[in-house]
Amino acid sequence: MNKLALSKLQRHMIFNIIIIVIPWLTLMLLGKKNIKRYSVAGIFIVVFEIINHMYGKKKNGGHFTPSRAIS
């Protein structure tokens, strides 16, 4: 792998980490009452997305194969 490709990979990894960290930093601004209020919905969404991911992986979702050229 050349240096340019490694650089793009590193920038992509840093971007992914920032996208994960920023929402967790805003959690400190919510307050205890709002955290309790929205925790049940948050847990439901996490469980739903885990099941959705497992189903998609089982059905080979996200992988596209070109069937024919569009003209």
pLDDT band, residue 70 (cuts 50/70/90): low
Distance CA 30, CA 45 (A): 18
Token pair of 68 as six digits: 């024919």
Write down the pLDDT at residue 49. Answer: 94
31 domain-assigned: yes
71 domain-assigned: no
pLDDT band, residue 22 (cuts 50/70/90): very high
Question: What predicted TM-score, i.e. pTM, was given to this entire model?
Answer: 0.55
Domain of residue 48, residue span: 3-58
Write down the pLDDT at residue 20. Answer: 92
Distance CA 71, CA 66 (A): 13
Write down the pLDDT at residue 19. Answer: 94
- Looking at the structure of the chain, the number of domains it has is 1
28 domain-assigned: yes
64 domain-assigned: no
pLDDT band, residue 30 (cuts 50/70/90): confident
